Amino acid sequence: MASRVAFQGERGAYSEMATLQYFPDVKPLPLKSFQDVFDSAEKGKVEYIVVPLENSIEGSVNEIYDLLLQTKMSVIGEIYQRVRHCLIANKGAKMIRYVHSHPQALAQCRVYLQNKGLKAVPTYDTAGAVKIIKEKKMTDSAAIASKRAAELYDMEILDEGIEDRKNNYTRFFVLSPKKKKSTKNEPHDNSHNHKTSIIFSVRHVPGALFDILGEFAIRKINLTRIESRPTKETPWEYNFYVDFEGHLQSKVVNEALLSIKPKTSYIKILGSYKKAEFH
């Protein structure tokens, strides 16, 4: 039986493209919001979800970090999706004044829009913006979305590659309510082909974060990302989201996690997964 996978947005969204990159044989389920996507898996409607975590130009998707804190699901994979934006309009539209898209996509094309004198209009999704201007037959508006979205909705591409930086990628997480089973082929030590993601908070004392990060440093575990988000419970206290090289089955990773646990006030292991490759 084919896997059931959900993503946020409409068909043609970059999230759908990332989903099909990881699950090429599925028909992904599009949902309106990130909360809907997480709920669909936690309620058993789908087996996996694919969500954007960060963009190489505009940074983190903060809502996802907050949802990762709440969810009981595990991260079982990551995806790098190349983002190449197109300016898309109804066929025959010429006097374009407004451009609709997701806020991240608008930000990634900020210079282009300014140079063209176009007014940005935020919407919930890139492909959703294409769908809106088609359904409403808007002739003074265009959308920023993928070439795939233009093809799916039979729209005209006015310009391609309009992102301000060409090295534009979005990193996605694949999550599942069921933890991924280990195999004999997965390495246990020196696993540079895998990453592990965790969340922790620290006691409000001098050197607390330094003491925790030092446990990774002395074991030569490479931290690939660290992000802080407010706990939303106590002002000016933060949760730290950390990705590092290595697998949970690795002895050195286990030692590091055991050593930091008593130094944290909270710790959550999101999971280990194979590193994504650039396409």
Concatenate the DSSP letters of all residues of 1-68 into one string: -PPPEEEES-TTSHHHHHHHHH-TT---EEESSHHHHHHHHHTTS-SEEEEEEEETTTEE-HHHHHHH
Domain that holds residue 34: 5-82+169-176
Check residue 2 and give its pLDDT.
Answer: 62
> Which range (118-127, 198-207, 237-246, 254-263) has the least confidence?
198-207
Q: Is 19 a catalytic residue?
A: no
- What CA–CA distance (Å, rounded) separates 28 from 16? 7
The reply to whether 75 falls in a domain is yes
Q: How confident is the model over 139-180, as pLDDT tens digits?
A: 999 999 999 999 999 999 999 999 999 899 999 999 999 866
> Quick one: 156 and 207 in the same domain?
no
190 confidence band (pLDDT: 50, 70, 90): very low
Q: Is 172 a catalytic residue?
A: yes
The reply to whether 245 falls in a domain is yes
The reply to whether 156 falls in a domain is yes
> Quick one: 155 and 204 in the same domain?
no
Of 273, 279, 275, 269, nearest in space to 73 by CA: 269
The residue among 141, 176, 211 that closes a domain is 176
> Quick one: 78 and 94 in the same domain?
no
The reply to whether 77 falls in a domain is yes
Query: Model pTM greater than 0.85?
Result: yes
From residue 9, give the alpha-carbon distance in Å to each of 65, 128, 214, 256, 262: 18, 6, 40, 38, 41
**Residue 140 CA neighbour count, 13 Å, CB half:** 5
The reply to whether 253 falls in a domain is yes
Give the active site residue among 19, 123, 126, 170: 170
Share of the chain above pLDDT 70, in %: 95
Q: How confident is the model over 80-137, as pLDDT tens digits?
A: 999 999 999 999 998 999 999 999 999 999 999 999 999 999 999 999 999 999 999 9
- Asked whether the predicted pLDDT for residue 58 surpasses 80, the reply is yes
Give the active site residue among 7, 38, 172, 200: 172
Query: At residue 190, what is the residue type?
Result: N
Number of domains in the chain: 3
Q: How confident is the model over 203-237, as pLDDT tens digits?
A: 888 899 999 999 999 999 999 999 999 988 878 88
The reply to whether 187 falls in a domain is no
Check residue 277 and give its pLDDT.
Answer: 87
| Tokens (6 digits) for 205 | 């004392």
> Quick one: 264 and 201 in the same domain?
yes
The reply to whether 127 falls in a domain is yes
Residue 174: partners with Cβ closer than 8 Å, 6 or more residues away: 22, 48, 49, 50, 75, 76, 77, 78, 79, 273
The reply to whether 264 falls in a domain is yes
